[in-house]
Amino acid sequence: MTERSEFRLTIACPDRMGIVARVAGRIADAEGWITEAAQHTDLEAQWFFMRWVFSLPAGGEAALNRDLAQQALEFDMRWSLSDTRIRPRVVILVSREPHCLTDLLARWRSGEMPMEIPAILSNHRELEEVASCYGIPFEHIPVTPQTREQAFQRLQDSLQALEADTIVLARYMQILPPNLCLQFRERVINIHHSFLPSFVGARPYHQAFARGVKLIGATCHYVTEELDAGPIIEQDVARIRHDDQVGDLVRKGRDVERWVLARGLRYHLEGRVLTHGNKTIVFD
Catalytic residue positions?
A: 228
Site string (2-21) toward a copy of itself, x via CB under 8 A: ---------------xxxxx
Per DSSP bridges, beta strands 120-122 and 90-94 are parallel
Residue 158 CB neighbour total at 10 angstroms: 16
Minimum CB separation from a copy of itself for residue 106, in Å? 5
Nearest to 193 by CA among 250, 243, 155: 250
Contact with a copy of itself (CB under 8 A) among 195, 205, 223, 224: 195
Q: Is 136 in the site for a copy of itself (CB under 8 A)?
A: no
Contact criterion met (CB below 8 Å) for 185 and 197: no
Distances (CA, A) of 63 to 27, 57, 70, 278: 10, 11, 11, 34
- Please say which residue, 85 or 239, places its beta carbon nearer to a copy of itself: 239
Of 100, 132, 106, nearest to 119 by C-alpha is 132
Kindly tell me which of 76 and 149 has the beta carbon lying closer to a copy of itself: 76
Nearer to a copy of itself, 156 or 198 (CB): 198
Site membership for a copy of itself, residue 74 (CB under 8 A)? no
Backbone angles phi, psi at 110, to 5 degrees: -70, -10
Task: Give the 3-state secondary structure of residue 9.
Answer: strand
Which 220-279 positions form the footprint of a copy of itself (CB under 8 A)?
A: 231-237, 241-243, 245, 251, 254-255, 259, 278-279
Residue type, 256: V
Q: Is 196 in the site for a copy of itself (CB under 8 A)?
A: yes
Residue closer to a copy of itself, measured from CB, 193 or 254: 254
Q: φ, ψ for residue 15 (rounded to 5)?
A: -75, 140
Contact residues toward a copy of itself (CB under 8 A) are: 17-22, 24-25, 27-28, 31-41, 43-44, 98-99, 102-103, 106, 109-110, 112, 129, 133, 195-199, 211-215, 217, 231-237, 241-243, 245, 251, 254-255, 259, 278-282
